[in-house]
A and B are shown apart, each in its own frame.
Chain A
Amino acid sequence: EAGVTQSPTHLIKTRGQQATLRCSPISGHTSVYWYQQALGLGLQFLLWYDEGEERNRGNFPPRFSGRQFPNYSSELNVNALELEDSALYLCASSHRTMNTEAFFGQGTRLTVV
């Protein structure tokens, strides 16, 4: 069974541009989570989607947004990129009834130059 898959693995963008990151959850999982892991700052919660709806949001500005599609895959969009947005962006998924047992993908390394 495939795990959580994320694409692309690496992304280089210029300051001010937009970035789109994609995530496919484990089959049967309906919840998708996004975390940011900046160097030296640990994992910070960004967004939680379940059944196509945004359920919770971390302490990030509105230029971080996303959506979940009917097949439960998800996109994270970051607008007006800033240098400090450079980080590893991790997607995780869980079953609806076990929504704190999250399984992570390998991440997308976003570099803003």
Chain B
Amino acid sequence: GQQLNQSPQSMFIQEGEDVSMNCTSSSIFNTWLWYKQDPGEGPVLLIALYKAGELTSNGRLTAQFGTTRKDSFLNISASIPSDVGIYFCAGGSSNTGKLIFGQGTTLQVKP
């Protein structure tokens, strides 16, 4: 079945540092999404990407839809303590309505 490989699995960084995480897939998706999940909460949509090569920003977050449609990355600049959480990538296909999720990247920020 379809799988997403998300890396790194976890990161422990100093406040103010930039962060980068990525997802790769063996399958093509026509949508890539990035979510953040805090403990005990549902995932919150951060960025949605719809076109190969698309680069989109949301505040300090920047994400790109890979040109092969099989990968995506998320960058967080100048990290702050509230960035702590688990970040998930997800690939979607409109004809299935199904999102395939990566395993998540746990981010910890040291003040």
9 nearest interchain CB pairs? A100-B92, A104-B42, A100-B31, A48-B97, A43-B101, A45-B98, A106-B42, A104-B43, A101-B48
Query: B45–A103 contact, CB under 8 A?
Result: yes
The reply to whether the CB of B1 lies closer than 8 angstroms to some CB of chain A is yes
Query: A100–B42 contact, CB under 8 A?
Result: no
A positions within 8 Å CB-CB of B: 4, 31, 33, 35, 42-45, 48, 50, 55-56, 58-59, 90, 92, 99-107, 109
A-B contact count (CB 8 A): 66
B positions within 8 Å CB-CB of A: 1, 30-31, 33, 35, 40-45, 48, 88, 90, 92-94, 96-104
Task: Report Cα–Cα, A90/B88, bound state, in Å.
Answer: 14
Task: Report Cα–Cα, A85/B48, bound state, in Å.
Answer: 30
Q: Which of B30, B41, B45, B102 contacts A102 (CB 8 A)?
A: B45
Q: Which of B1, B41, B98, B101 contacts A42 (CB 8 A)?
A: B101
